[in-house]
Chains A and B, each alone.
Chain A
Amino acid sequence: MAMTLPMVMLFFCFHTLPLFSGFFYSLTNSKGFGDFDFIGLKNYIHLFSNTKVINAYGFTFKFAIVTTILVNIISMILALALNAKIKFKSALRGLYFMPNILGGLIVGYIFNFIFTFVIPAIGKSITSGSLSTSILGNPSIAWIGIVICVAWQAIAFNTIIYISGLQTIPQDVYEASSIDGAGAWKTFWKITFPLVAPFFTINMILCMRNFLMVFDQIMSLTGGGPAGSTTSISMLIYKNGLTGNQFGFQSANSVIYFLVIVVISVFQMKVLNKREVQL
């Protein structure tokens, strides 16, 4: 049909073309304006010795891995609970999904207040030394605040995905399992989990991908600080690439960033797909 070709061309111009020109700029010393020279692979070599870049990768990975695991464990438990024969089912599901519809930036501002004022106030009242100051001000633990805030929102979405997975499991499988005398723990690991494995795969890939791209919540929680300890890769590209005269250098950074995301996603798909079973 005639509609497809224009769409493919537009997509090429506004998605693939920037991708190529990003690669092109990564080979230059462009500041984002004015003249520039080709400098070959110099940007790429400098990437690996730039502490800001290395720290951003370190933080982003630590954050993404911890948050992915945390979110998936809690989401799975919540999904099992919300899929059980409970009272007020649709109201509870509605409530647990709510954080997902709220904007990450504004949720970040609200959590910023909680970490800065509320938690320290609680800490003081129970005279706990470690809780009496804001965790967002401490370079070594500020990232935990971001984990909590992002997880609070992401759990909502992943829980719904797991619930839709649980609903695809036919009832007679459970009946057979209970006739065979399997307990709840065994039923989960031998029956439920293998059958929702495709949804586990989706969630793991989506989580990892989204968390590696984290931006909004960091903007409102820490702005990348303290001392740059929570600067994610996206944030570094935005800050230094757009306003810090490092257009060419950050383009090289984003090429590596892109490759990293592709490799991780493909790896996850390969490993996790193997575990899936078909009913």
Chain B
Amino acid sequence: MINVKKGEVKTDKRNWPITIMLMLTSILILIPIYMAVMIAFKQPSEMSNDIAGAFKFPSKFSFSNFIEAIQVTDFFHTAGNSLVITIFSVIAVVLISSMVSFAIARNMERKKIYKFFYLYFVSAMFVPFSMLMLPLVKQMAFLHLDNKIGIIFLYVIFNTPINTLLYVGYLKNVPVSLEEAAYVDGANTWTLFWKIIFPMMKPMHATVAVLTALAAWNDVLLPLVLLSGGDGKDITLPLAQMMFQSQFGTNYNLAFASYILALLPMLIFYLVAQKQVINGVMNGAVKG
């Protein structure tokens, strides 16, 4: 098989001018990160008021800012909260959304009610979270769900519209004949789903998992409003940055060490799973 990717200009020569231009403009992406790392390693006394203060290498790379930031923001605790919330949201979303979408996708042509469920879920995409948040905060506090469990639960709810769209879109391209054959062999819907359909939806699981993980890990508004009345033991990583902003004061070195720590888990994940993340997003765009 000839493996030529679609949409590429088929010349034998690499396009060096474009390559070099892309490399040059990528500086705009790297500069803020580079600057943040430099400042995080420096001491306040090294922060002069000129450009060098922000961009020069530190006189020595010391981890003291990081150690202090870990203590000040209770890093391992808040990162643990974020991790628990993200992991359980992803697992719940992949299991529940795929099952519900399968039921919808296979019934919506025959039964009106499933078509209605589909439109009901998908049209909810246009509801901005800030429209729901005021009544939702009351409702969740009333149910004593203003904690981690409540956040995970709401991520499953709020990711349902986009995930239904993605999974149903994917299942439309999966031929039904396979399922009919399984039914003939005596399989029931439950075993059919877990043995055949669920493994087959792997590419879409990756897309859903990546999108959910990014949204849950980086979200500010939902934890902010939901945990506002609590004792603060469930606060997430981004929230901690906001809450300790006043404690950092003008010690930018400490603040930046804390920012780097907060960005690091996602950056490491991205370095390891870069291909899956990008393919996941691209896959979602084409199939969705």
Q: Name the residue of chain B whose CB is nearest to the CB of A100.
A: B214
Chain B hits for A95, CB < 8 A: 26, 29-30
Chain A hits for B126, CB < 8 A: 209, 258, 261-262, 265
For the complex, give the distance between the alpha carbons of A3 and B5 in Å: 40
Please tell me if the beta carbons of A25 and B135 are within 8 angstroms of each other in the complex: yes
Q: Name the residue of chain A whose CB is nearest to the CB of B281.
A: A160
Chain A hits for B15, CB < 8 A: 84-86
CB distance from A151 to the nearest CB of B (A): 11
Please tell me if the beta carbons of B214 and A101 are within 8 angstroms of each other in the complex: yes
Q: Which of B26, B131, B224 has the most chain A CB within a 10 Å cutoff?
A: B131
Q: Name the residue of chain B whose CB is nearest to the CB of A170.
A: B6
**Binary contact track B77-110/A, C-beta < 8 Å → 1, others 0:** 0000000000000000000100110111001000
**Binary contact track A3-22/B, C-beta < 8 Å → 1, others 0:** 11001101100111111011
Please tell me if the beta carbons of B130 and A215 are within 8 angstroms of each other in the complex: yes
CB within 8 Å of B: which of A86-121? 86-88, 90, 92-107, 109-111, 113-114, 117-118, 121
Q: A166 in the interface, Cβ–Cβ < 8 Å?
A: yes
Chain B hits for A242, CB < 8 A: 133-134, 137, 225, 228
CB distance from B49 to the nearest CB of A (A): 7
Chain B hits for A86, CB < 8 A: 14-15, 18-19, 22
Please tell me if the beta carbons of B21 and A81 are within 8 angstroms of each other in the complex: yes
- Could you say which of B65-73, B178-186, B263-271 contacts chain A? B263-271
Q: B198 in the interface, Cβ–Cβ < 8 Å?
A: no
Please tell me if the beta carbons of A258 and B51 are within 8 angstroms of each other in the complex: no
Q: B204 in the interface, Cβ–Cβ < 8 Å?
A: no
Q: Name the residue of chain B whose CB is nearest to the CB of A258.
A: B131
For the complex, give the distance between the alpha carbons of A109 and B73 in Å: 16
CB within 8 Å of A: which of B9-38? 9-11, 13-16, 18-19, 21-23, 26, 28-30, 32, 35-36
Chain A hits for B23, CB < 8 A: 88, 92
B218 touches which of A102, A170, A254 (Cβ 8 Å): A102
Q: Chain A interface residue count: which class?
A: 35 or more
Chain A hits for B283, CB < 8 A: 164
Q: A228 in the interface, Cβ–Cβ < 8 Å?
A: no
Please tell me if the beta carbons of A18 and B139 are within 8 angstroms of each other in the complex: yes
Number of interface residues of B (CB under 8 A): 95
Chain B hits for A250, CB < 8 A: 134
For the complex, give the distance between the alpha carbons of A256 and B9 in Å: 48
Please tell me if the beta carbons of A85 and B130 are within 8 angstroms of each other in the complex: no
Please tell me if the beta carbons of B51 and A118 are within 8 angstroms of each other in the complex: yes
Please tell me if the beta carbons of A7 and B128 are within 8 angstroms of each other in the complex: no
B130 touches which of A93, A98, A213 (Cβ 8 Å): A213
Please tell me if the beta carbons of B7 and A96 are within 8 angstroms of each other in the complex: no
Please tell me if the beta carbons of A84 and B225 are within 8 angstroms of each other in the complex: no
Q: B255 in the interface, Cβ–Cβ < 8 Å?
A: yes
For the complex, give the distance between the alpha carbons of A109 and B274 in Å: 25
Instruction: Point out residues on A near B: beta carbons under 8 Å.
Output: 1, 3-4, 7-8, 10-11, 14-19, 21-22, 25, 32, 78, 81-88, 90, 92-107, 109-111, 113-114, 117-118, 121-122, 125, 152, 157, 160-161, 163-171, 174, 199, 202, 209, 212-213, 215-216, 219-220, 233-234, 237-238, 241-242, 247, 250-251, 254-255, 257-258, 261-262, 265
13 A-B residue pairs with Cβ-Cβ distance under 8 Å, sorted by A, are A14-B139, A18-B136, A25-B135, A85-B14, A86-B15, A87-B19, A94-B274, A97-B277, A110-B32, A161-B285, A167-B7, A174-B9, A242-B133
The 9 closest A-B pairs by CB, nearest first: A103-B218, A1-B103, A164-B282, A254-B131, A21-B135, A234-B130, A18-B135, A18-B132, A86-B19
